[in-house]
Amino acid sequence: MSDRFSDSAWPSPDQALAALREGSGEGIRIAVIDSGVDFSHPALATAHRGDDIAVSTDGIRLIIKENSGEDVFGHGTAVAGTIHHVAPHAEIGSFRALDGDNRSRSFIIAECARQAIQRGYHIINCSFGCRGLARHVMEYKDWTDAAYVAGIHVVAAGSNLSDTIREWPAHFPSVIGVGMADCGENELRCRPDRLVCFAAKGERVRVPWLDGGWRVETGSSFAAPRVTGFLARLLSQYPSLRPDLAKALLRAVAARSGEVV
């Protein structure tokens, strides 16, 4: 996998749009930090499966183990299914941090992110947010900074109530923050005056769920993986793009076109 241009080249918005339409995610590894992924679901039958681990705690120490394809809630399977639909040739790795109530702890999420960084993933999808205390913000900042320095892209869902509500990691400038919109599934919208500046289809989205089933869901959780898929398509054509450049190109494409695939 090589860029159409040298590492120092900046693709034009027109070239980026062409890449979004031609790319398939091939060669791109995406880490889904969520409730686990049921890779046996028919919607993921052709997915390129990466790591599948679970991170938890016994109250004293972190426990990292193989997850064996378990989704304890359904949310992670929905997220992975959306990514696979948009970027069918991308590799998807599951890093289970959320429990059966779809909740987690900041330090567990941080360990999942560290695992993804160490294992060489290109994109980390975070379909969740934390409003937490200052110390929680710093826990998120530590690993998002580490990802940024390593050239790893982080895509995160903003608040379902308002994209001006500060939730982490979506509100970090180095992160691609995504809100939900009632729009076409191939549309990418941009609001450049906000930290959570992107929006994609997140209302009434049909997604895979537990036990081979499907649900219709609404939320930024389902908009973020759509943008992750768009990003994977772009990176499969221009894999050397660093996070700041990729984010700027997505903004330019969204501002000029709207429909990206």
Percentage of the chain modeled with pLDDT above 90: 86
- Categorize the per-residue pLDDT at 1 as very low, low, confident or very high, splitting at 50, 70 and 90: low
What is the CATH code for 13-256?
A: 3.40.50.200
For the segment 31-55, the average pLDDT, to the nearest whole number, is: 98
Cβ neighbours of 42 (radius 10 Å): 10
The two counts, helices (H) then strands (E), for the chain are: 6, 11
What's the pTM value of the predicted model, to 2 decimals?
A: 0.95
* pLDDT score of 9: 66
Q: Smallest Cα–Cα separation from 82: which of 121, 44, 120, 38?
A: 44
What burial class does residue 35 get, using C-beta atoms within 10 Å of its C-beta: 0-12 exposed, 13-18 middle, 19+ buried?
Answer: buried
For the segment 188-198, the average pLDDT, to the nearest whole number, is: 94
- First CA to last CA distance, the chain: 21
- The mean predicted confidence, pLDDT, of the chain is 94
For the segment 132-153, the average pLDDT, to the nearest whole number, is: 93
* pLDDT score of 68: 86
* pLDDT score of 5: 45
- Categorize the per-residue pLDDT at 3 as very low, low, confident or very high, splitting at 50, 70 and 90: low
What residue spans define the domains of the chain?
13-256
Non-local CB neighbours of 61 within 8 Å, separated by 6+ positions: none
Place of tokens 């970027």: 87
Where is average pLDDT lowest: 1-5, 21-25, 99-103, 143-147? 1-5
